Structure 1
């Protein structure tokens, strides 16, 4: 019985201190409470009068032991220092189980799609009646197109094609569309687009309609100049 009374307190005290060693510093109240219960039990083995003293003494020792030997969290990120692979993380930064900020998402690189071929369709350049001469309004519209083509010219090839409606003879419409294509090209060159950028200037006459020539609306759509940009 004497051996049990001596060994039991040691076993209980060792168990409390071992358990506290695996806790964090901030868990010292828990260690103190467990130590108090254990101290009371140890004191009671001697006399009921010693239970309070045992609780106070052992509870204090357990709480202090937990504070000194417990696992800390210096950067306050919620991950114990023993597992924190990124100590010193700034306050408020979200961390993972290792105490490190999550890796930033991989940057999404958007592929720039270059349109190799594009066609500018000019339908609002009407020329003078039955002529290839540009009106003042035509020139104003072509000025806007010239500004863009000057940017394209260093790395692109330009093809200009004139088109007419079906009114009149085929041969006449062919010649007229060719003259109008050259008239547009000459104006663009005069506006600063390098002539070397134009690899083809031609007329297609009435051979490539995009609408019904039987209506006024359709014929208006067919009278056009197209500038093909090949990058």
Structure 2
């Protein structure tokens, strides 16, 4: 009968103290109270005089059990193994109860710099007969293309450059190159409506050949008027 009387309270004590393990650190008074009741009960089994002593011992035991086996910050790691006991609730922790390192957010990739728009350009190359400064009809389509481009980009200007071959005196060729440049300018301004202040004309005589003046083919290439217009999109 003595064994039964002792075993029942011990089983009860074990169950109650195990329940205390689920309480947080601040709830140790209930654990102490539970331990005290159980301790008093165990003492009373022996005799009434042991009840008071059992109460005190049980209270201390319950409180200590709660402290050791409880989880004060609710992170899933019991107090005796928790190296970071004050972790805020909901924080992800490691096996020691300490917060897991937060992975740094990847740095945003720099936005690609927009590519600068390539400028658009139109070039003019008008050929002339020997010792002539008259614009041929078949060249006017090319001149018109330049005039249309300048109308599309009204901020543009151009310089029309006249050239000759090497036949004849330098001074004569200089004046001939200027007449050729002005002839092309007149077509742009008078026939295709380009404002006169947007087109300059200059002659370089025979000083800037692009082909060999020693043969007829090269001299025909050098008898020319050139112009270039560039605009930003």
Interval of TM-score (by shorter of Structure 1 and Structure 2): 0.3 to 0.5
Provide TM-score, normalisation by structure 2. Answer: 0.47
Provide TM-score, normalisation by structure 1. Answer: 0.48
For the pair shown, the structure with the greater C-alpha radius of gyration is 2
